[in-house]
Amino acid sequence: MSTPPIRNARAASLPAKLSRTWLLVNAAKPQLFEPGQRSEADSVIFDMEAAVPDDGKDEARANVVEALSERDSTTGEPNMTAWVRINGIKTPYWEDDLAALNGLAGLRGVMLPNTEAPSQVTWTAMKAGAGVPVLALIETANGVENATDIANAPGTFRLALGTNDLRKDTGMSDDPLALAYVRSRLVIASRVGGLPGAIDGPSAPGASEERVREDCEWTIKMGMAGKLTLTTSMAPIINDALAPSEDEQRWARELLKDAEHGADITDGSYLPRLARAKKIVELASSYGLWNA
């Protein structure tokens, strides 16, 4: 008998370029893989880097390889699909990580931590295998300074912000105003590089729903389009906060309805507003909200 894939069907069908919630799952704890797969997170990342001590790297890598190698006996489809945060290019684990992941059925892409130069993305993409996208995680001042070049590098899929390590590197506080410049740099770099929207750093573990929503408000204000998370419980909150609101959907419906009935172009902002309305339709439809 065929066993259905473990991955949340709605999330699995969503293109990663539209993913709002990126859930980091500790690769040293394979018992967390299935709950992560079934969660509402748009994308799941098995984390072999920050969550794993040096003496556990080999075991964590083996856990990921086993999980992403398993296929359904009838359909041949992978039982689990995930992105994988590999170890940094300057570590002794980077090459072994990529060699182990190359060709795995369930691998959706890799996240490269501490990305500081475009060549690091290009080398990672080459070793990861043909067509494997790279999420460039910006966590240092050098990475921020080179964000535009990184966004333009062959293999870069999206930029993501590693707020905790960045704060350690720069001495910045966690105040949104302190991080505003960095977020803006990633947003502008993503636009210049023609990438999907940048991904914001995670809320603190144990943060209340109110705090998560406040954090997401800053994500939206700064023009970012996704957010990392460390817990499955935050995924529905982030998905809701980063999706088009009911007011936005209502506005888009009314504008598109008027356009269908031949509404006149009233001013220079009409066509940009029409384009935004169409974008809201696209996003709401992709997130299953348009006809909900």
Task: Judge whether 123 and 161 are in contact, CB under 8 Å.
Answer: no
Sign, CA torsion 120/109/53/227:
positive
Residue 271 has pLDDT above 90, yes or no: no
pLDDT tens per residue, range 72-124: 878 888 999 999 999 999 999 999 999 999 999 999 999 999 999 999 999 99
Residue 116: C-alpha distances to residues 89, 120, 169, 279 (Å) = 10, 7, 13, 32
Percent residues over pLDDT 70 in the chain: 85
Count of Cβ atoms closer than 10 Å to residue 61 Cβ: 24
Selection from 21, 28, 12 nearest residue 80 by Cα: 12
Count of Cβ atoms closer than 10 Å to residue 290 Cβ: 16
Residue 162 neighbours by CB under 8 Å, 6+ apart:
113, 114, 137, 138, 139, 201
Name the pLDDT band for 164 (thresholds 50, 70, 90): very high
pLDDT tens per residue, range 140-154: 999 999 999 999 999
Tell me the HSE value of 204 on the side-chain side, using a 13 A CA sphere. 8
- Please report the pLDDT score of residue 44 as a whole number: 98
Arithmetic mean of pLDDT over the chain: 90
